Amino acid sequence: MHTKRNILLVVFVLLSFILRAEQYSRVVSLAPSITKNIYYLDAQDCLVGCTSYCTVAKNDNKTVVASPATINIEKVVALKPDLVIASTITNPEYIEMLRKFNIRVEILTTPKSFDKICSQFIDMAKLLGKTDLALKKISLIKEEINSLKVKNSNSLVGKIFFQIGADPLFTVIPNSFMNDYILFANASNIANHLNKGTISREVVISKNPDYIFIVTMGIIGDEEKKVWENFKELTAVKNNKIFIIDSDLACTPTPQTFLETMKIISNYINQ
């Protein structure tokens, strides 16, 4: 009996050690979405480095170690991180350089759905010892998303054109997390036939969307709205259904920003 208890105790200690070993305390983030997720997990005390685009971390006086194009390897190494979290847009050469310093680098792929956004959030939480918090947050966010779906199911939304670039004209396509905005709005994507995001104005006009969402910032969004308003025959123009959404929300794949974007879209289509 004592032997069995001793064995169970040893197993428990080993499991505890393994779980503690996987929780990292000095983390460098190489993408704004990763940084936001770290803050949503209340794990910002673990964050020691970030990119120049990570506004929330910069305002928190975290060390900037990278721009969208380059990484200052010396700065990263000097911070003595035990984990670097990068995205697939990070140059692989920098990844290999960091690994040569025996730094663990985790690469997160661009999620292709809301569900994948949530699963990545939980995976990150495991690394930071925040699994329970992540599961609670995801549960609440999914409840709100499901409520929005029910609300949107009562609306006849029709067709949506979701613009995410102006030069060239670029749109949301199927098999992307942003396409879930359209699906959850109980609408159809006018670009559901495309494999790549580039699209012409002629195609948009021929598809005649009921709503146009422009995901750009500042004057660019306003200018694009004015361009579309010149096409008086468009249903979206006739009904004054052209809206601008902040790209910092819509294009950032985190559970929280997805929910915030979905709320904005739902308010527009149900007003």
| CATH, residue 204 | 3.40.50.1980
Q: Does residue 97 sit within a domain?
A: yes
Q: Does residue 7 sit within a domain?
A: no
Query: Residue 124 in contact with residue 37, Cβ under 8 Å?
Result: yes
Q: Does residue 41 sit within a domain?
A: yes
- pLDDT surpassing 60 at residue 100: yes
Q: For the chain, how many structural domains are there in total? A: 2
Domain co-membership, 179 together with 114 = no
Last residue of a domain, one of 130, 163, 184: 130
CA angle 254/126/251 to nearest 5° reads: 10
- Eight-class DSSP state of 33: H
Query: Residue 262 in contact with residue 145, Cβ under 8 Å?
Result: yes
pLDDT tens profile 44-56: 999 999 999 999 9
Sign of CA dihedral 43, 48, 49, 55: positive
pTM value > 0.85: yes
| CA dist., res. 30 & res. 107, Å (int) | 10
Least confident stretch, 16-30, 99-113, 138-152, 241-255: 16-30
Q: Does residue 138 sit within a domain?
A: no
Domain co-membership, 194 together with 262 = yes
Q: Does residue 196 sit within a domain?
A: yes
Q: What is the mean pLDDT of the chain?
A: 91
Which residue is associated with the tokens 């929330």? 56
Q: Does residue 47 sit within a domain?
A: yes
- pLDDT surpassing 60 at residue 18: no
Domain co-membership, 126 together with 188 = no
Domain co-membership, 94 together with 172 = no
Domain co-membership, 122 together with 207 = no
- pLDDT surpassing 60 at residue 146: yes
Domain co-membership, 265 together with 156 = yes
- Residue ranges of alpha helices (H) inside the chain are 2-21, 32-40, 55-58, 73-78, 92-100, 114-127, 131-153, 179-184, 201-207, 218-229, 235-238, 247-250, 255-269
Query: Residue 148 in contact with residue 262, Cβ under 8 Å?
Result: yes
Domain co-membership, 121 together with 172 = no
The pLDDT score that the predictor gives to residue 14 is 47
Provide the domain limits for residue 71: 20-130
Q: Does residue 137 sit within a domain?
A: no
pLDDT grade, residue 252 (50/70/90)? very high
pLDDT grade, residue 4 (50/70/90)? low
Q: Does residue 145 sit within a domain?
A: no
- pLDDT surpassing 70 at residue 265: yes
Torsion of the alpha carbons at 107, 112, 117 and 121, rounded to the nearest 10: -20
